[in-house]
Amino acid sequence: MRSFVTGVSPRAILSGVVITFFLTGLGGCTPNVWYHREQNDPLNFRRDISQCQQEAAEFGARIAEKDRKAAVKERTKACMKARGYGWGTVNDVPDDSFVFEEKDQTDDYRLK
């Protein structure tokens, strides 16, 4: 069924609206960050994340390759949480915490 005014079907208009809302929703995502209430030294954070990543990599070497990436990521998070760090979106960080966020897509972090 075509609209008499625009020549565009109502289905095409509805599809365009749905796609627009979907893409708008993706653009509003906030990044996840590490945070700690007492730890504010970027060098100590870098040491902690490196040690946790090393431990997780050693653990991951014993896991099937198809499951390795997810297992290493979860092991790293567990290690960091055991050291008192939290992991969440910028909006969820308690006000009295120091935030460490990624500079780029690598595992390089800085104090925010």
pLDDT digits (tens, 9 = 90+) for 40-66: 899 999 999 999 999 999 999 888 888
Distance set, CA 58 to CA 45, 51, 72, 108 (Å): 20, 11, 9, 20
Q: How many domains does the chain have?
A: 2
Residue 77, pLDDT above cutoff 90: yes
Between 62 and 21, the more confident residue is 62
37 and 23, same structural domain?
no
Q: 44 and 92, same structural domain?
A: yes
Domain shared by 19 and 44, yes or no? no
Could you tell me if 20 and 46 lie in one domain?
no
Domain ranges, residue 15:
1-29
Per-residue DSSP letter, 2: -
Together in a domain, 40 and 79: yes
- Residues 94 and 47 placed together within one structural domain of the fold: yes
CA distance to 59, 68, 108, per residue, from 44 (Å) = 23, 27, 13
- Max Cα separation, the chain? 67
Higher pLDDT, 110 or 34: 34
